[in-house]
Structure 1
Amino acid sequence: MGDAEQKGIMLMQEAEKKQKGAKGFLGNLFGGSSKIEEAAELYVRAANSFKMAKKWAAAGESFCRAGQLQIELGSKHEAATHYVDAGNCYRKGDPNEAIKSLHQAVTIYTDMGRFTIAAKHHITIAEIYETELVDIEQAIANYEQAADYYKGEESNSSANKCLLKVAQFSAQLENYEKAVEIYEQVGISAMDNSLLKYSAKDHFFRAAVCHMCLDQVNAQICVQKYEDMFPAFSESRECKLVKSLLKACEEENVDAFTQSLQEFDSISRLDQWLTTMLLRVKKSISAEPDLL
């Protein structure tokens, strides 16, 4: 056992004694709240010692205890900060505990009306579900909650970033209607913004790809709608690609479909999401017919 870990254990023990002393009759009589403050400080010191020793679970627990005491003292901001620190420590070894701690912080922040910072921590929770726990439905739920909080605070750019993650994951789960709705919504909002105008083309492209996964006939109608609504999309390589792919689908020509993708990809690399979605479309036209 290293010196830092040993110091952390000793500080935890000292904090526990202070905490117990504050709860007795004599503690209440002789400055119980000051003893709780001292205990909270000791827990934080213990947590920092455990961090130095890379004992992340112990550090997380110490920060949680400090957070609980700060709630007793009525210091909501301090309590939320400690729960966030606990979440950061737990994330290095126990993502479920990290989520639990971050949710406690979010509860405090929303109670205080701090919705922007609550949204930020919902994003962190979503990222844990996305990368460490691979629970895409929970990731979607937390990105949506973050988007709602950002919208409520008129942080529309931040809300749209979260919604684009929702669209991406919804399409992965084959909820194409939801993905289309978001891509169109964000694309339309970007059209009228000189700084975001260029990105509208990409949003409409992704909406069109989702339409192709859902219904190739309807996709043609929607692509025409995007062209009418946003002439810059009509002139883009992305729009030309979608049209050539739809033609290949109509003709059930897998080779033409593949060639169009290769030509586009040789100039503008398709990302993993687009590759996955377009592979689904390709499989739909190359599938063998059912045998009777």
Structure 2
Amino acid sequence: MRSVKSLLAAGAATLFSTCAFAADLPIAPPPMYAPPPPADFGGWYLRGEIGFSNQRTRDVHYTRESAYSQLTSFNQTSAFDTAGIYGVGVGYRFNNWFRADITGQYRGNSNFKGTDRFTGTAGGLAYNGIDNYSASKSEWLVLANAYVDLGTWWCVTPFIGAGVGGARVTISNFTDTGINNLPFTTASFASAPSASKWNFAWAAHAGLAYQVNPNLVLELAYSYVNMGEGRTGVLSDYVGNTTGNYFKFKDITSHDLKLGVRWDLDTPPPPPMMPLIRKG
């Protein structure tokens, strides 16, 4: 009996000493929480857009200046029809407020109508006349653009931007039908083949972007575009006679309205989860 009691006492002493030793050990602190790194807003994106143009030209002018030298009054009206715009591009977002892209647009055929009304003198005789012009115009437009996003409210981000590049302006199917009222009435007709010209171009942009999901953004945008000058081929009359001159379309500008889409290729990963700490 005594040996059993001795064994129990020895076991209890060992247990108490072990507990006391464990109580003396330092308590490991809980793992520290590290905040997630700031979100990386950078990344490549693709874009596409469709829209329509509202175009103007400051002046349609014949290059033989002597044709205007005897005029005493001159008035010109002109207008382009609305035409479609189709564009694609690739860009890079540098942070959450600045991005840039390169875009290419095909701007479809826009029909042109113009009229000159004038009076003048020739050989001491006064006369008046009218010239009616028709043509079609199209462009290829390449721009390098930069944009500033102005903040986001309810997934909508207004933005402004600007672009510079080049425009290839093509004037086709040009005709000039005229009537001059001298002591007797004369009629004239001339036409010109298609011709293209590359110009410096620039644009100003403004719009609204809507974040559909982390990858997809829709845009409703306005652009003012200046595409420089267009020109016809060499003008000839109905029997083929020519003086080697042509018409210039000066300062071609457009007010564009477009609907676009941007697809982000580099979606930032979600932030790391906060470590789970159990109590007790």
Given the two structures, how large is their TM-score scaled by the length of structure 1?
0.18
Q: Which has the higher strand share?
A: 2
Which protein shows a greater Rg? Answer: 2
Q: Which has the higher helix share?
A: 1
Given the two structures, how large is their TM-score scaled by the length of structure 2?
0.18
Answer 1 or 2: higher relative contact order, Cα 8 Å, separation at least 6.
2
